[in-house]
Amino acid sequence: EAGTAWGRLPAKERSARLRRWYELMVENKEELARIVTAENGKPLKEAQGEIMYSASFLEWFAEEARRIYGDVIPASAKDRRILVLKQPVGVAAIITPWNFPSAMITRKVGAALAAGCTVVVKPAEDTPLSALALGELANQAEIPAGVYNVVPCSRQQTAAVGEVLCTDPLVSKISFTGSTATGKILLKHAAGTVKRVSMELGGHAPFIVFDSANVDRAVAGALASKYRNSGQTCVCTNRFLVQKGIHDEFVEKFAKAIEKELHVGNGFDAKTTQGPLINEKAVQKV
């Protein structure tokens, strides 16, 4: 019922409510950032950046909601025209990671709500609070009940919840950001009901330095690419390939930069550049 009513709202009205949601995020950016730091561990400055990045998706899709145009296409018959209407697909299940607990939600949810879909968000078990905080602001923005839904769960239940979302016939679309291994499992579950799926999975991110490179600039880039969010992003460098002629100079300067510029500590400490890893499993992996 919520999906039918939301999908029937004029695009201008959906746009206005998404815009208000964006404005509320900006108004409450400090509180939202503190929630991210508390549950994720990333330094507060990084968390503040994530919140503004997160809000920007709602701003973007608030405007795009106004531009869901159809098409009139010439047909092979002279007296015929083909009319294309763009309609919401229905319920979208959103499964998000812990490394960007706010931004990965709004990036997916903003698009779905702009199109007239409703969403069920399953946040990562380590970071459910950001999803719930966004839900509170959605209520204040007059996003109707049942349009934005959050299903937090324990680590023990996360696989079962994911399976339900992928197999329930009421769900029409799956959007997942996470590991390749988990993505393969979700694809298998979704195949039974032939759901639409969007998968953003793990990859490889080499940092390549040639002999012709400016070493100082390469070191600065490497520092940002490797240690952002304590190395816990899907695009963080996972191996360095440095040409022989520049290798020793690069390694020496990179080591000095790490010692000088990186400071491990509590995310709420202004001097901290590297907060804690997300959980014990991440520590063991490192």
Give me the CATH number covering residue 22: 3.40.605.10
Q: How confident is the model at residue 169 (pLDDT cuts 50, 70, 90)?
A: very high
214-243 core/surface letters (b: 16 or more CB in 10 A; e: else): eeeebbeebbebbbbbbbbebebbeebebe
Residue from 23, 125, 200, 249 carrying the catalytic annotation: 200
The pLDDT of residue 283: 85
Angle (CA) 274 275 278, round 5°: 125
pTM: 0.90
Is residue 200 part of the annotated active site? The answer reads yes
Q: Are residues 210 and 170 part of one domain? A: no
Give CB contacts under 8 A, 24+ apart, made by 214-221.
215/246, 215/249, 215/250, 215/253, 216/253, 218/250, 219/250, 219/253, 219/254, 219/257, 220/257
- How far, in Å, CA of 242 to CA of 238, rounded? 13
Q: Are residues 242 and 146 part of one domain? A: no
Give 136's contacts (C-beta < 8 A, 6+ positions apart): none
The pLDDT of residue 6: 93
| pLDDT exceeds 80 at position 278 | yes
The pLDDT of residue 229: 86
Number of folded domains in the chain? 2
Q: How confident is the model at residue 69 (pLDDT cuts 50, 70, 90)?
A: confident
Residue from 234, 236, 252, 261 carrying the catalytic annotation: 234
Q: Within a domain: residue 92?
A: yes
Q: Are residues 258 and 181 part of one domain? A: no
Q: Are residues 238 and 102 part of one domain? A: no
DSSP state string for 129-195? HHHHHHHHHHHHTTPPTTTEEE----TTTHHHHHHHHHH-TTEEEEEEES-HHHHHHHHHHHHTTT-
Q: Within a domain: residue 76?
A: no
